[in-house]
Copies of this chain bind each other. A is one copy, B any other.
């Protein structure tokens, strides 16, 4: 079967590099175009990621895929998406609002940027959690008169939390969530990213705008799509987001108030039983299990568990009763640059493709 031509815009940054790594050898998507800032425009990709000393600044695993190193990088601001069937956007917040809207007039855009996440006609989809929200894309097209659409993925800190809550909601009813995150440095990108001065022998107790994003995004993702709009889930949410000296993999300490009594064993059972719809489980980038439960109290650990399921599985452990919220508490680890960013966006692209939206 012929593969679908796709583009990556914002291709030279950390998220863009993760896109390239994940698209290398992809069965359905063929990387046909690359774009980035004017500084990179006109160069071959392999040259565009070199620094002033000629050194390659490739931060994903392995090396730049050979097939991509010679692809020319276009200027994102002048990029014409009509040559491809799908655009993966990893551009930064401010530019995203303007550029993604332009591209979406003609072409579907899957984005890691936050610009459109909270728009009423924009679904915020994690395929194993709320795949049916992709239907809102039709509504978006209609309202905006676009041939394409913008489908963003959530913040990397939202993803693991939403996956675990999706396993609890049907069985027990989620009423409120308290979460403290211990986030990896790769979540902040590369330029400038988190400084070594901030995390050597240290914790930074604040990540600008992160807590608000997790709170509003989680409610939207677990909300109900009805009559062309999403009613946010009414759960209470209170987050504290911190940065620690970990490379990849966000750790989250979560307490949940549940509508129905749930012993730790019942919570573990619900998480172990969690399944995505069959068509989601069949997507090329889907792991064998989106949720994995550890009995070992020393797990999950980011270094040991972030790569589970190719970085697409959320690992959970330390499931205990929470006497204060009257529900359960647990610790999760989710890979912030895989399930929480580029590979998560590719999974979403696979879903919209499988459901005939591309």
Contact = CB atoms under 8 A, between A and B. Distances in A.
A251 B59 CA distance: 19
B302 A247 contact: no
Nearest to A243: B196
Nearest to A194: B196
A197 B193 CA distance: 8
Nearest to A195: B193
Contacts of A200: 185, 196, 199-201, 245-247, 303
Interface string A4-19: 0000000000100000
A55 B56 CA distance: 34
A114 interface: no
A198 B196 contact: yes
A302 to B, nearest CB: 6
B251 A205 contact: yes
Given A240-B253, A240-B329, A322-B238, A197 B178 contact: no
Nearest to A193: B195
Interface string A304-340: 1000000000000110001111000101000000000
B324 A204 contact: no
A200 B246 CA distance: 7
A85 interface: no
Contact of A204 (B185, B192, B301): B301
B203 A238 contact: no
Q: How many copies does the complex hold?
A: 4
A213 to B, nearest CB: 15
Contacts of A208: 53
A251 B203 contact: yes
A131 interface: no
Nearest to A211: B320
Given A238-B323, A324-B178, A298 B201 contact: no
B242 A178 contact: no
Interface string A234-258: 0011101010111100010101010
Interface residues of A, number: 61
A299 interface: yes
Contacts of A318: 205-206, 240
Contacts of A198: 196
A176 B324 contact: yes
A106 interface: no
A182 interface: yes
Interface string A198-221: 111111111010000000000000
A144 interface: no
B329 A245 contact: no
A199 to B, nearest CB: 5
Contacts of A304: 202
A267 to B, nearest CB: 15
Given A197-B193, A244-B244, A202 B302 contact: yes
Give 4 nearest A-B pairs by CB, closest first: A185-B196, A180-B180, A180-B253, A202-B303
Interface of A: 14, 53-56, 59, 176-178, 180, 182, 185-186, 190-206, 208, 236-238, 240, 242, 244-247, 251, 253, 255, 257, 296-304, 317-318, 322-325, 329, 331
